[in-house]
Amino acid sequence: MTQTIRRYAQAGAIWALAFMGGGVSAQTVEIEYWQYFFDARVEAMEQLIESFEANNPDITVTMTHFPYADYRTKVAAAIPAGEGPDVVQLFYGWLNDYIEADLIQPLPEETFPAAAIDDAFFPMVQAMKVEGQYYALPTAVRSLALFYNERLFEEAGIEAPPTTLDELVEVAKATTKTDNAGNITQVGITTGMTAQDHHWFREVLVRQFGGDPYQDDYRTVNYNDEAGLKALEFYAGLEKEHGVTASSFMDEPQAAFKAGRAAMHIDGSFRIGSLADQRGLNWGVAELPAGPDGTQANYSSYWVNAITTKADGERYDAAVRFMEYLTSDEAMQVWLDVVGELPAKPSVGMTEENANNEVFGPFIRGLEYARTTKFANESAQRQVLVDMLARTDLEGQPLKESLAVAAEEEQAILDEYYAQ
Amino acid sequence: MTGYRNLTIRQKQIVWAWTFLAVPVVFYVVIRFYPTGTAILISFQDWNLLGSRSWSGLENYRTLVADPVFWKVFKNTFLYLLIGTPVSLVLAFVIAYHLDKLRFAHGFLRMLYFLPFMTSAVAMAWVWRWFYQGVPIGLFNNMLASMGIAQVEFLNSTTNALPAVLAPAVWAGLGFQIIIFMAGLRAIPTSYYEAAKIDGVGWWTVLTQITIPLLRPTIVFIVVFSSIGFLRIFDHVFNMTTNNPGGPLNATKPLVLMIYETAFTNYDMGYAAAQTVVLFVILLIVSLIQLRLLRST
């Protein structure tokens, strides 16, 4: 009896489907995608959703975006209430908080086998793996590189960007200008821990001087040693010893570079867009200079997508398929072309065309040896390094002491976070 | 309906009064008192905005007392108050006093003084931030450099930064205070001044014996108003030090900025709520003291 009814119902459903033209039907699954508002990201996502829907006519994806400032609050309020996104974008550094708060669920092992992802993605993406399971994956990543002003290089007779830290100092000396009173009017290289330099110090300089900034999966601070001190001496020396920079020069490092008052500037790939719009500024990009023993290092950060705990049943299946598409080569190429963020997989990044791209190339090549700091609280940990330099600069504290204080402060932040 | 009809006129008036009062009462309960109560509650809890809240007793307050940054920030907050209030009071009085005597271009000058008060604090803070930069872009330092004087680190200094941030805040509030002072000056009956003139008293005596004593309510009002403003200073500091909020080395950080950071960059809502409760208590005490002073006039 029940079987007959079910057969009739099935027949009816098929008939109804055929009648409605088969396209948009009552069986369409609607899933929601959330990200924060940034013009290019929204545009790229619109394109991705469009082609995803074309290939998966049974799924509709609705995108919602919020100003960055409200993002976390909105996500936190919506998901436990059974509302909001099925697939959500989050900063890699928030992963632990999101897992802890039960907002996201692990990616299914059948579709996203951990071993295959380890192989397919750039190595730093492994930070998204918790106890052998991936919880989130990026479409695009960012890394650091050295921007240089071609006109200032030419003026000083410099032919190629520096490839080592020693060369960096020499080039910076040649391109620094001062007025009669000795005030710097053009810096050789911009510095400022408040910008990207704290990443350069942590993941790049400390490693290049032979150290290992953290141990125990980023739970133990380890830069308060000989290598850390050398790295700090190098960094602080740019201003104090060589006089090729001033830490608050023109308010912000990127402003100085944009205004053509800085010959070199270390920044992330996200800066490309705003520099490209700057008229009259001829700039190039090079990989970060190698350390004294030739060590190359880089820092990578990224936004990831994850499936929320709200997605279940057929919405879950649809979300998995959408995630699959977001981590596909095709999606990564779209993201690179529209947003200018780097592909998260070597299969897209290391193509002949992308890896040798004049602008993106140095960033993408940097991904091969980039690391991702697992922050407990990025802004607090950044503040520790900002203060470390400020103490030596404004209060005359010896570098060694200031480094020790910084390590202690940062350890306290980590301890508090992991104690919970 | 019959119930209403049986009421006396007095009672009907009360019913109507409460009907109209209901709107602000509901507004205050929902928009003010309920969040205030919740904030006090959260100050005894541990909450990172995601996940659930858990009770932590007095832990947040214990952390607060032991936190050197809190005491630094506490000191800064009172520095803003203790420098800002007298400076702006004296400046506003001096300007209002002379502006009051001035006939020529009086309205235009008054408008000029009032203009900063209407300007957005954010825009103003960014313009001043640019003034304070070093060579080659900063206005002040370029002027100094062109006269051959060494540069002054305005914002990148643990001693100069706080007064540097305070200056535009004082300037911004000045226009309002001048207008209030002028209204106060106009309200003093001219007969006192005429009597003084007949007696042949000097301007100093007039100022100290007539003008200032009779301005007392105005002065108390401005002091109350501006000290609450300085205790809650935020936008100027935040916008002038966005790269290193409240820095360098917390030299400019006021309590409100610390609350903001604890809540919305560290997501430590319980600790932030505890700081809010402390700010609430400070504001309450300051206001009560000043209201008392106001009443004794």
Q: What is the pLDDT of residue A18?
A: 44
Query: How does residue B24 score in pLDDT terms, banded at 50, 70 and 90?
Result: very high
B191 and B77 both lie in a single domain: yes
Helix (H) and strand (E) counts for chain A? 19, 16
Residue where the block lists tokens 């520096």:
A162
Render the burial of A216-229: b for 16+ CB within 10 Å, e for the rest. Answer: eebeebbbbbebbb
Which CATH number covers residue B125?
1.10.3720.10
Say if residues A245 and A238 touch (Cβ distance below 8 Å). Answer: yes
Q: What is the pLDDT of residues A299-337, one digit of tens each?
A: 999 999 999 999 999 999 999 999 999 999 999 999 998
- pLDDT score at A6: 54
Q: Is the pLDDT of residue B31 over 60?
A: yes
Chain A residues whose C-beta sits inside 8 Å of any chain B C-beta: 69, 72-73, 76, 97-98, 100-103, 179, 181, 183-185, 192, 194-195, 246-252, 261, 377, 379-380, 383, 386-387, 390-391, 394-395
Per-residue pLDDT of B189-201, as tens digits, reads 999 999 999 999 9
The interface predicted TM-score of the complex, written ipTM, equals 0.85
Question: Is A98 in contact with B50 (Cβ distance < 8 A)?
Answer: yes
- Is A18-142+301-371's fold the same as A143-300+373-419's? yes
Which chain A residues touch B150 with a CB distance below 8 Å?
A: 181
| Band (A253; pLDDT cuts 50, 70, 90) | very high
B243 contacts on A by Cβ (under 8 Å): 192, 194-195, 251-252
| Nearest partner of A306 among A286, A320, A288, judged by Cα | A320
Contacts with B249 from chain A: Cβ below 8 Å: 387, 390-391, 394-395
β partners of residue B54: B46
Mean pLDDT confidence for B55-70: 94
Cβ <8 Å between A252 and B130:
no
Euclidean distance between the first and final Cα of chain A, in Å?
57
Nearest chain B CA: its distance from A117 CA (Å): 28
Is B195 found in the same domain as B71?
Answer: yes
Q: Do both B41 and B95 map to the same domain? A: no
**Residue B230's CB: how many other CB atoms inside 10 A?**
22
Q: Do B137 and A386 touch (CB under 8 A)?
A: no
Confidence at residue B49, expressed as pLDDT on a 0 to 100 scale: 81
Q: What percent of chain B has pLDDT over 90?
A: 72
Task: Give the closest residue to B174 by CA, choosing from B287, B95, B76.
Answer: B95
**Residues B88 and B155 grouped into a single domain:** yes
- Closest CB to A394 among B49, B137, B158: B158
Interface of B with A (CB under 8 A): 48-51, 129-130, 133-137, 145, 148, 150-151, 155-158, 243-244, 247-249, 261, 264-267
Whole-number percent of chain A with pLDDT over 70 = 94
- Checking if the pLDDT of A5 tops 80, the result is no
Provide DSSP, chain B. -HHHHTS-HHHHHHHHHHHHHHHHHHHIIIIIIHHHHHHHHHTTEEEESEEEEEE-TTHHHHHHHH-HHHHHHHHHHHHHHHHHHHHHHHHHHHHHHHHHH--TTHHHHHHHHHHHHHS-HHHHHHHHHHHT--TTT-HHHHHHHHTTPPP--SSSSTTTHHHHHHHHHHHHHHHHHHHHHHHHHHTS-HHHHHHHHHHT--HHHIIIIIIHHHTHHHHHHHHHHHHHHHHT--HHHHHHSTTSTT-STTTT--HHHHHHHHHHTS--HHHHHHHHHHHHHHHHHHHHHHHHHHHT-
Torsions phi, psi for B50 (to 5 deg): -90, 175
User: What does the buried/exposed string (b/e) look like for B79-96 if buried means 16 or more CB atoms within 10 Å of the residue's CB?
Assistant: bbbebbbebbbebbbebb
Q: How far is B262 from chain A (nearest CA, A)?
A: 10
* Mutation choice for B interface testing from A90, A383, A416 by most B CBs within 10 A: A383
Quick: pLDDT tens for B226-238.
Answer: 998 999 999 999 9
Domain count, chain B: 2
pLDDT in tens, B102-111: 888 888 988 9
Residue from B59, B135, B139 whose CB has the most chain A CBs within 10 Å, to mutate = B135
Domain check: are B73 and B115 in the same one? yes
Whether residues B24 and B49 fall in one domain = yes
Of the candidates A113, A112, A89, A140, the one whose C-alpha atom is nearest the C-alpha of residue A308 is: A89
The answer on B100 and B150 residing in a single domain is yes
* Cβ <8 Å between A394 and B136: no
User: Chain B residues with CB inside 8 Å of A73's CB?
Assistant: 49
pLDDT given for residue B136 in this prediction: 87
Report the residue from B50, B129, B130 with minimal CB separation from A97. Answer: B50
How many Å lie between the alpha carbon of A295 and the closest alpha carbon of chain B? 30
User: Where in the sequence is the domain holding B123, given as residue range(s)?
Assistant: 66-295
Average pLDDT for B26-35: 93
Among the ranges given (A80-89, A313-322, A365-374, A401-410), the one the predictor scored with the smallest mean pLDDT: A80-89
Judged by average pLDDT, the poorest of A10-14, A325-329, A383-387 is A10-14
Residues B75 and B177 both lie in one domain: yes
Residue B226 sits in the same domain as residue B110: yes
Fold category of A143-300+373-419 in CATH: D-Maltodextrin-Binding Protein; domain 2 (3.40.190)
User: If pLDDT is split at 50, 70 and 90, which confidence band does A85 have?
Assistant: very high
Phi, psi angle pair for A335, to nearest 5° = -60, -40
The topology under which CATH files domain A18-142+301-371 is: D-Maltodextrin-Binding Protein; domain 2 (3.40.190)
**Res A13 pLDDT > 60:** no
**Closest chain B C-alpha to A19 CA, distance in angstroms:** 46
Residue found under tokens 């909001």: A84
Task: Single out the residue of B148, B66, B223 nearest to residue A179, CA to CA.
Answer: B148
Q: Note the pLDDT tens digit of each residue in B238-281.
A: 999 998 999 899 999 999 999 999 998 888 999 999 999 999 99
Confidence of residue B140 (pLDDT cuts 50, 70, 90): very high
Closest CA to A390 of A198, A124, A175: A198
* pLDDT for residue A378: 87
- Answer for the pair A235, A191: CB distance below 8 angstroms, yes or no: yes
Residue B43 and residue B166 in one domain: no
Residues B53 and B80 in one domain: no
Per the DSSP assignment, residues forming a β-bridge with A60 are A30
B81-98 pLDDT, tens digit each: 999 999 999 999 999 999
The pLDDT of residue A23 is 44
pLDDT, chain A, mean = 90
pLDDT at A19: 45
Q: Which of B13, B31, B59 is the last residue of a domain?
A: B59
Domain boundaries, chain A: 18-142+301-371, 143-300+373-419
B130/A179 touch (CB, cutoff 8 Å), yes or no: no
Instruction: Dump the DSSP string for B162-178.
Output: HHHHHHHHHHHHHHHHH
Among the partner residues A73, A192, A247, nearest to B49 by beta-carbon distance: A73
- What's the average model confidence in pLDDT over B218-233? 90
Say what the pLDDT of residue A7 is.
Answer: 54
The answer to whether residues B53 and B164 belong to one domain is no
Name the domain boundary from B36, B59, B82: B59
Work out the pLDDT band at B296, boundaries 50, 70, 90. low
Boundary-marking domain end, from B15, B35, B59: B59
Q: Point out the residue among B148, B157, B261 whose CB comes nearest to the CB of A181.
A: B148
